[in-house]
């Protein structure tokens, strides 16, 4: 029996990405009801996001193993540190944990977690082959945790208040929208790296359909749209000067990344842009919750 590598088990779940999904749930809670982050259900929300994301990362690697033999030579399934059967068993364990934690939170949370667990499998199994549809699916899956955090908040308070909180707050909506646009831009730009592998799997990616130059412009357009949406909460007076001052930092970074990727869409720069885009998203996390914490 093949020995399981703990290093491979950590690598395949993309811990940074999965932690970010868990943090996204916490942000949704903070934007709705900051005091709820001290509850045990907030911890359950974080764990649900982390484990469902981990499941999706493993499943993605399973379905992409042949593509990764060309594009990502260091992935655990490519190097043989994990077998396909071990990866499936590991994925189901992550899914079971995520579903169990969601069920302990509320039935509504269970339904949402189960739905997006299924969507993440469907993405890797089929939707990814349909180009922009796959990119939008990834973006939806990474923006829904903020709404999930709103629902977690409703499970913390008494039933009467919970009925009010079932509808996402406006600030949560705008943050989810900004995240959706930024992640879509990043996913579109990433297709430049995967062109050769996508040809093998028959993925009708944006880069294959429009070429790398136009792909970089489409990705940049999503980045700029995300930046534009960050100002709407301030214009609507849902946020104040603390938010405005802090959001300018990630906004400036995304404007720079937009310029950079249009000017240079080489594989080297694509890798740099997609990495820095994650940094920008983290800074956006901080900006959106700053006033909730400071005031």
What DSSP state is assigned to residue 37? G
Decide if 95 contacts 54 (C-beta within 8 A): no
User: What is the CATH topology of the domain spanning 1-165?
Assistant: Tetracycline Repressor; domain 2 (1.10.357)
Residue 264 has pLDDT above 90, yes or no: yes
Give me the helix-helix angle, 267-294 and 15-32, nearest 10°: 30
pLDDT of the residue at 217: 96
pLDDT computed for residue 157 by the predictor? 63
Q: How would residue 226 be classed by pLDDT, with cut points 50, 70 and 90?
A: very high
Q: pLDDT band at 175, cuts 50/70/90?
A: confident
Using the predicted structure, report yes or no on whether residue 189 has a pLDDT greater than 80. yes
Provide φ and ψ at 84, rounded to 5°: -60, -45
In CATH terms, the fold of domain 169-295 is 1.20.120
Say whether 169-295 and 1-165 share the same fold.
no
**Secondary structure (3-state) at 278:** helix
Residue ranges covered by each domain of the chain? 1-165, 169-295
* pLDDT 10s digits, 237-252: 888 888 899 999 999 9
Residue 163 has pLDDT above 80, yes or no: no
Burial classification of residue 16, based on how many CB atoms lie within 10 Å of its CB (0-12 exposed, 13-18 middle, 19 or more buried): exposed
Q: Mean per-residue pLDDT for 211-233? A: 95
| Residue 63 near residue 12 (C-beta atoms within 8 A) | no
């Amino acid at each position: 029996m093949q020995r399981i590598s703990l290093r491979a088990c950590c690598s395949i779940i993309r811990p940074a990405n999965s932690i970010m999904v868990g943090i996204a749930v916490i942000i949704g809670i903070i934007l709705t009801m900051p005091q709820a982050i001290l509850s045990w259900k907030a911890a359950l929300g974080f764990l649900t996001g982390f484990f469902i994301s981990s499941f999706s990362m493993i499943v993605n690697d399973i379905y992409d193993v042949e593509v990764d033999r060309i594009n990502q030579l260091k992935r655990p399934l490519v190097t043989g540190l994990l077998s396909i059967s071990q990866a499936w068993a590991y994925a189901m364990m992550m899914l079971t944990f995520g579903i169990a934690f969601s069920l302990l939170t509320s039935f509504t949370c269970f339904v949402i977690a189960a739905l997006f667990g299924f969507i993440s499998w469907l993405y890797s199994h089929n939707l990814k082959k349909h180009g922009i549809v796959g990119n939008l699916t990834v973006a939806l899956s990474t923006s829904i945790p903020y709404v999930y955090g709103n629902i977690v908040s409703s499970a913390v308070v008494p039933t009467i208040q919970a009925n009010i909180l079932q509808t996402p707050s406006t600030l949560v909506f705008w943050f989810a929208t900004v995240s959706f646009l930024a992640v879509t831009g990043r996913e579109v730009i990433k297709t430049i790296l995967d062109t050769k592998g996508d040809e093998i799997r028959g993925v009708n990616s944006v880069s294959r359909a429009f070429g790398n130059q136009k792909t970089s412009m489409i990705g940049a357009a999503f980045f700029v749209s995300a930046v534009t949406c960050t100002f709407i909460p301030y214009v609507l007076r849902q946020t104040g000067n603390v938010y405005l001052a802090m959001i300018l930092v990630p906004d400036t970074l995304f404007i720079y990344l937009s310029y950079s990727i249009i000017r240079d869409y080489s594989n080297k720069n694509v890798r740099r842009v997609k990495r820095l885009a994650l940094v920008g998203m983290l800074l956006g996390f901080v900006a959106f919750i700053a006033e909730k914490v400071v005031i």
